[in-house]
Amino acid sequence: MPSDPTAPPASPEVEERAYRIMREVEDSHWWFDGMEAITRRLLDATAGPGAPPGRTVLDAGCGTGRNLGFLTRYGEVTGMDFSPVALASCRERGCTRLHLGSVNELPFPADSFDVLTSFDVLTNRTVVDTRALAEFARVTRPGGCVLVRVAAYDWLRGRHDEEWNVGHRFARGELCGKFARAGLDVQRASYANMFLFPVVLTKRLLERFLPPKAETSDLQVGAGRSWSGRLLGALLASEARWAARPGGLPFGLSLFVVGKKRS
């Protein structure tokens, strides 16, 4: 099922707290380091490494801007997000090519970008995934690359999903089918964060019986360059070469799908 566009967004106070936490931890958190390694390997395998002259990149739902940095290796990067709070953090990073808007109706003309990325946006309660994917295809040039990362398995929902306004988690076949119906030919599809899957599965099951811990975000656990954080980051990054192979990884906490727009 798609996310519910009629569902109310998080309150401004909740939204501001979530983005503040993300901005504080994302540059030194093992999860972001590992996911960057996987993303780079997938983009290298599909879009090709390097930034040829004139190549343009859109990060649709750029959040507080960490990914805008490494995406410059693929071309001239534009960031877009629905949150003024998030875009303010991007400006603090020195990013200037920024737009306020929704993935349900991208504020760009057709065939504007060669590469489009979207990280953990289709899962948001306010997003209609089929509409957003149609918009991704519309603004991507024929032959261009679209990479999407989402949370995996709707039965794995937990308190983290409530904190981050997640309305739906995806299975691989489901998302690949929606790519195809949007006019995007799937090139790679892989789960990620496979090694920690048993740990998080156990945690989600226990959450159903244990009281919540107040004022502690999952992202605040493991933040910083501790030895345990570096170990977890290396473990997640090690999945990159397997995720980029045909068939990818068979299960995990996240899901990547990469497609190309039909000519």
Where helices occur in the chain by DSSP H, the ranges are: 12-25, 30-46, 66-70, 84-92, 129-139, 159-163, 172-181, 197-207, 227-237, 240-243
Per-residue model confidence (pLDDT) at position 1: 47
Say which range, 11-25, 60-74, 78-92, 225-239, has the weakest mean pLDDT. 11-25
Pick the CATH number of 12-261 from 3.50.50.60, 3.40.50.2300, 3.40.50.150, 1.10.150.20: 3.40.50.150
CB 253 within 8 A of CB 196: yes
Residue located via tokens 């996911």: 35
Domain parsing of the chain, residue ranges: 12-261
Length in residues, the chain: 263
Instruction: Report percent pLDDT > 90 for the chain.
Output: 71
Say which range, 20-34, 72-86, 177-191, has the weakest mean pLDDT. 20-34
d(CA 105, CA 166) in angstroms, rounded, equals 19
d(CA 180, CA 204) in angstroms, rounded, equals 32
Q: What is the mean pLDDT of the chain?
A: 90
Q: Is a pLDDT exceeding 60 seen at residue 256?
A: yes
pLDDT in tens, 122-142: 999 999 999 999 999 999 999
d(CA 167, CA 7) in angstroms, rounded, equals 9
pTM over 0.85: yes
pLDDT in tens, 178-233: 999 999 999 999 999 999 999 888 888 887 776 666 555 555 555 667 788 889 99
* pLDDT tier at 144, thresholds 50, 70, 90: very high
Can you tell me the mean pLDDT for 11-33? 82
